[in-house]
Amino acid sequence: MACLPPLPLLRRGGSETRRAGFTLIETIAALLLVSLLAGLSLPFLRGGPGPAALRAGAYQVSALLRGDRNAAFSSGRASATLVDPRAGIVRSERGGAGFSAGPGMRLDLRASLPDAIRFYPDGRSSGGDVTLSAAGRRIDLRVSRDTGAIVLVH
């Protein structure tokens, strides 16, 4: 009977089985680090509020204006929507929640009154335009002097 030479013992992690490359844990750690860095830097790369945020802001301001118009009509007393362009705030003089322009969004008022649009019980208003703008886009809210109607103009 002939003797066969002994088989070499392979050890886990030994030089015979070691291959060049990364382990699964190293790959996962690298992907986690890249994801974390991307997540932290993404807010700094955005150019400001997008069109949806601008449109949502315009609808909120429009709702405030309409609420004050309806309050003047139903109460028989004048009501005003106060606009502070420097602070970026629109609110009703009656109180309640208002609108605050976020970072990157600009608020402007062009009206006969310096800081408000006033609505009267007969349906008229002091009239004016409230403009929201961001990243080269703008939406105007025009308030008719004769009818108090509020129109969004993109």
Buried b (16+ CB within 10 A) or exposed e, 10-21: eeeeeeeeeeee
pLDDT of res. 13: 56
pLDDT of res. 44: 62
Q: Architecture of domain 51-153 in CATH?
A: 3-Layer(bab) Sandwich (3.55)
10 versus 40: the higher-pLDDT residue is: 40
pLDDT at 79 exceeding the cut of 80: yes
For 29-67, the pLDDT digits (tens) are 888 888 888 877 766 665 667 888 899 999 999 999 999
Domains of the chain by residue range: 51-153
The sheet that has 137-143: what strands, in order across it? 106-111, 128-134, 137-143, 150-153
pLDDT at 16 exceeding the cut of 70: no
Question: Given the structure tokens 């909120």, which residue do they identify?
Answer: 60
User: In this structure, are strands 89-92 and 79-84 parallel, antiparallel, or unpaired?
Assistant: antiparallel
Taking alpha carbons only, the member of 113, 129, 61 closest to residue 92 is 61
